[in-house]
Structure 1
Amino acid sequence: MDLNNANIPVIDQTKYALRLLELLAQESGLEQIVEMGYEMLGNPFSINDMSNKCIAITSPAQLNDDPVWNEVVTSGYTSFTSWSFYVSNKLVELVDKNESPFFWTDTYSKYPRIMGSIKISNKQIACIAVCAHERPFQESDLELTSLLCKALSIELQKNEFIHYSRGLLHEGFTEDLLEGKVTDEKVVSERLRILNLKFKRNLFVLTIDISNFSSSQTSLTFMRNEFEKKINNSKAVVYAEKIVMIISCDNEKHFLKNEITSLKEFLKSNNMYAGISRCFYSLVEVQHHYFQSLNALKLGMHINKEAVLFSYEDYAIYHFTDQCSSGGDLKENCHPALLRLIEYDRQNNTNYTRSLYTYILSSKNVTESASTLNIHRNTMFYRIGKIEDVMNVDLNNSNILLLLHLSFKILEFLKIPLP
């Protein structure tokens, strides 16, 4: 791409073009190009993506007497009020249609602006807004801005900013939620209004492992679209080498029963695995529940790879045991009375350990436990008494029962078979 422009003094033109090309060749990154742009223009500027999120801004950035500029500085976005003003005044349309940067003034901003479009393959992916705060604009600033826009276009083609991009407006916002960059309910509400996004009350995060995905069969973009088609009211992005979806629904039970069934079949047919978070109700909690879906995926694949979809609700206790494992030998967290019962079974060729686990899983229902073990109800009563004697515990103590249940899960996580 040609970085040269006419009507700039030849010395400056050559100097800036060569320095920008050098930064691009050295892969110095977006920040270095922004610093170079500030030196070129002598005024601050911001770069916003098509969701109106600020992806880069010059430093120093704070302008005490221009509230529109400071909206971007403080929140990383233009407010819905400002955005609506610029849409109604055709600025957004003008930026997209103009091939070259242009001067812009309005009653909303104190200082004049230069507005320019940053395009890739003739498609706008971002815009630059230069603010005449430190010196008045000159005609040559338009061509310097054009030069900078071309360099930014080249940089953003290498940058993860457009990696896997379909040009959907929600992607940048979704990634901010996943990275925990948006924690204010008011900001979330503003972004939803600008992007015209609506989510239903019940929310889930679904993370899909694409490590077995074969790009020779179909494109990743196509696959991502297919997942969105499979689940109503969902938004998907490719993030951290996985497909991540934010899903919303009116009825949690209906979603888990019906849509999850078809999703399982689709995952199985494409040799993929997925983890799904617990239900939640606020988008500011997306990152926390994204981590839940990751842990469900990791633990599910470790414990039960025969399945393809793992719910965090089913693996939360394993997550707890996994966290405990970082502090040393995980087996040491098992209740010693359970280890004593296991040893007793091994020495005496009995099966009290399995009887105890069945009793705990059936919520201390003696009749149900006996039926599961295919023994008489009185036999189950006898075994419970014997188990309490061997372990020297009271199984009516809810704290003891919880610790024993956790101990069984630790053994299951460690894949230690019961006698």
Structure 2
Amino acid sequence: MTKKTDPFKYSLDRLEDVADQISDVLNCPITIEDTHHRLLAYSTHNDFTDPARTSTIISRRVPEKVINRLWKDGIIPTLLKTDEPLRVPQIAEVGLSSRVAISIWKDQEVLGFIWAIESEQPFSDEDMDLLKMAAHAVKNKLLNLQIRKTKTEERNQELFWKMLTGHIHEKDEILDLFLRLGIRCPDTYAIIIFRLRDELTEETEKKLSYLLETTQQVQVLLTTVDFHEFIILVSPKTEHPLQDIKQFTNSMLQQLSDRYHIHHVQAAIGGIYDHITHIQPSYKEALAVLKTKERFPVETERLNSFSELGIYQYLDVLAEKRKGSSYSSYSLSKLEDYDIRHHSNLVETLERFIDCDSNANIAAKQLNIHINTLNYRLKRITDIAEIDLKNMNEKMTIYLDMKLKNVHL
């Protein structure tokens, strides 16, 4: 059996020329992408294309809806496990015609992908072998790109950390830094922290980076890592910054769970600012969100942003003010004494009732009691604590007193 001739054994300098060479050999349109589905090169002389390829070339990255569909259909997970060519059937809903894809590997790591559209007829076994040769030929070029990218990311992370810690904080310093990094200074931005249970491994960091690189919901400007926290600077894309950033954050949490089975991740969004010198305050506010979620996990379960914390923003200030004082809440003390003596839970009932915006029906469901039972307890609370639950000032005062019990400076 004669050994097949490798048409790619003579290396070309430019990746674009390699894409054209692969296209000539296989007689089909070719795109070469990195692991984050950013376009690195594409063949230029074939008339046939499809909407997905056109969008990729225009935006220099694969559309997010295409990536999501390829994950859902198991295409990308398979490409991340094998070095064999993979047939991808037509997916008309996202503008994808039938094609063949192959991963480009170096040892146990995927460096990128080659996508070949089957423009006239399905690939033969010989075509599949040629595509494998092409992947081998592209490997070293992508490896060199990856090395340069890693050095750039390490430098960016170091400079970003200096901004987060306040070592770089003057406006002119920050503007000059963004200019040197080749990043557009954002008009509006926020810091987001994703905190995992354990220290971030290199593999988990790669997965997080992949999600950030492929999202098109916000602009991800800078990232860095601190033990089990992944910290990012993002800029919204519409005139609804909080909505954009919250949707992006929730999408990240969902994809970490669905794609990678990474659960129990805490997310925190700092303040949203339009002045570039507030990067450190936004970071501190994101940390404050995480701290609050630790103290009040039930009440803040669905809250991720500093702007949504309400009274929880001010509990530390109030606790500091009362520190060392002899203040004692008369009404709360009365309820606590009653609960101890009668083995009841009037304090919990009152706290849950106010948590539910004084909605008796919702509070009763959360407490798993009949609404008549709740109404009876509320009457007892009114009598014992000597408070008027229809008086907002009295109600909020005892509510703050209950919350401050969980604040330890």
TM-score normalised over the length of structure 1: 0.46
Q: Greater CA radius of gyration, 1 or 2?
A: 1
TM-score normalised over the length of structure 2: 0.47
